[in-house]
Amino acid sequence: MEHLDALTPKKEQKETILSEYRYVKKHVNESHVTLYGDRNNLGSNRVKSFLGSKKKLTEMTAVTNPNLNVIASRDVVIESINKQIKRESSDIKKASLIQTLSYMKKMRQQVDQTISAIISETSHEININILNQRYPVTLDIMPCYKDLIQQFSENCFNPLKNPYVLRYFYVFINMCSMDSINKNEIKAIFKTKCTDKQRQALNIQ
């Protein structure tokens, strides 16, 4: 929306859903940006058709905070505990919080290492693409994607019990989008790289 707000009235008249989608997709690298609907028809619609009229707010002043840090949603819990540790005056409670934070980071590292071990079984070139690219979600890959998620949940970490795992779901989308990857081999890797330690993990945030 900040991008739209910065447009001049003349440019705003020309901005389409498709051009806005392309802009957002280019500048967002931590989420999957996807255009839903008929690209040919919906994409040509003007953005202004979906926006209300712009009125100057004379009685309100925007407040900016140069010290405001943006935190990834899945790291909010870590940041929250860090702040609690800084504010806590009781040594006993502080020690407990530090222990909780240490355990949380240790379990996160276990997930990171497991995902890395799975990806490392692919070639180096594919390995880089799986980690660094974000392929679009399409209907064609959904059966493969659902299958990999189910197999990973059964053989490795259960994402319903371990929310931190969700940050790696894009990896499975990438795998399903790459023809050079044998999906059956990936499912076999799940079984060899994961043990009861991963399957029994709980509440990794």
Instruction: Check whether residue 1 and residue 93 sit in a common domain.
Output: no
Q: What is the pLDDT of residue 36?
A: 64
Look up the CATH number of the domain holding residue 124: 1.10.132.130
Across the range 33-53, mean pLDDT stands at 64
Same structural domain for residues 152 and 79? yes
Say if residue 57's pLDDT is above 50.
no
Structural domain contains residue 156 = yes
pLDDT tens digits for range 144-162: 999 999 999 999 999 999 9
- Amino acid at site 141: I
Total structural domains within the chain: 2
| DSSP code per residue over 10-64 | HHHHH-BHHHHHHHHHHH--SS-----S-HHHHTTSBGGGGS------TT-----
Structural domain boundaries enclosing 158: 75-200
pTM: 0.61
CA-closest candidate to residue 157, choices 101, 100, 196? 196
The conformation of residue 168, written as its DSSP 8-state character, comes to G
> What is residue 164's predicted lDDT score, i.e. its pLDDT?
94
Burial class (CB in 10 A: 0-12, 13-18, 19+), 5: exposed
Same domain, 188 and 148: yes
